[in-house]
A = this chain, B = another copy of it.
Amino acid sequence: MKSPEAVLSQPAGCPSDDDFLRLDQQVCFPLYAASNALTRAYRPVLAPLDLTYPQYLVMLVLWERDGLSVGDLGQRLRLDSGTLTPLLKRMEAAGLLSRQRASDDERRVEIHLTEAGRTLRQAATAVPPQMLCAMGLSIDELKSLKAGLESLLDRLDAG
């Protein structure tokens, strides 16, 4: 019986289990390596903003809609409170946002941008063009990659 992954490069062969374990047959490894490489590539681009990549993602969400709770952010970014709580505390210490318990439900913590946080948006408009340049993919490649990743993400989350 064939492994779908092995079939990728040996459509006519009859791969053994050995093939499934080869690094260059993996789909997951380039995903892992590309994600690491992407975070590395963002670092110098985000350095002028004093943001890490996860922090930048939080800002993207808050620039779209301010006042979300920790849970709302986690749902959007697929991160849990164990990740977000300390991350948001660092961003609060950096003066980008405030964390305060919601008055109508004391369990929730609402995140609001500070003036500095809102202002940072202007500088951030320089980020996507720089990253697109660093990635150097065509529009078609980007579209296809984005679609494939979103499809994968959906199914992994479902399982």
Contact = CB atoms under 8 A, between A and B. Distances in A.
Contacts of A7: 139
| Identical chains bound together, number | 2
A107 interface: no
Q: What is the predominant secondary structure among interface residues of chain A facing chain B?
A: helix
B30 A125 contact: no
Interface string A113-132: 00000000100110111011
A23 B159 contact: no
A10 B52 CA distance: 28
A62 to B, nearest CB: 10
A31 interface: yes
A118 to B, nearest CB: 13
Q: Which 3 A-B pairs have the closest CB atoms?
A: A35-B35, A30-B149, A20-B128
